[in-house]
A = this chain, B = another copy of it.
Amino acid sequence: MMTSDQALIAVTQTLAKGREMGLKPLSAIVLDAGGHPLAFHRADGASPGRYAIAHGKAYGAVMLGMTGSQQMDRAEAQHYFMTAANGVFGGAVVPVPGGILIRDDAGAVIGALGVTGDTSDNDAKAGLAALAEAGLNGDA
């Protein structure tokens, strides 16, 4: 299990990593293993809709048990499957990198980090670096 404090550290560290890396202002969310928000932070200068994008990246990862990269691959190969999957989840899934599964040491999914604001690849890099500092295992 992930604690509320670990979730907050992962989120604030993601925004800090973004500043260190010179990225655009980031927004980050951590969801628990049931897809429910534990912590969120949006940097000054980020656009107002960033909560929904960050949430969508993390939510798809938890609900499908697939990383953002895996979801993007599936969307490229079989777009109607990801469209349909999104339909059954109320349109709440954003299937691109920046949706990062958080795993315990046995590999079980204990939540997800969603990052948005720069390119999807940079979002994922900042998130992975932040999870490492928070002592959590990220799978992007």
**Residues of A participating in the B interface, judged by any CB pair closer than 8 Å:** 3-5, 8, 12, 29, 32-49, 51-53, 55-56, 62-66, 72, 75-76, 78-96, 108-109
Contact = CB atoms under 8 A, between A and B. Distances in A.
24 contacts: A29-B40, A33-B34, A34-B36, A34-B48, A35-B48, A36-B42, A40-B40, A46-B65, A47-B63, A47-B65, A47-B66, A47-B109, A52-B63, A53-B64, A55-B88, A75-B80, A78-B96, A80-B83, A84-B91, A84-B93, A84-B95, A87-B92, A88-B94, A90-B91
Tallying the copies of this chain within the complex gives: 4
A38 B15 CA distance: 12
Contacts of A93: 84, 87
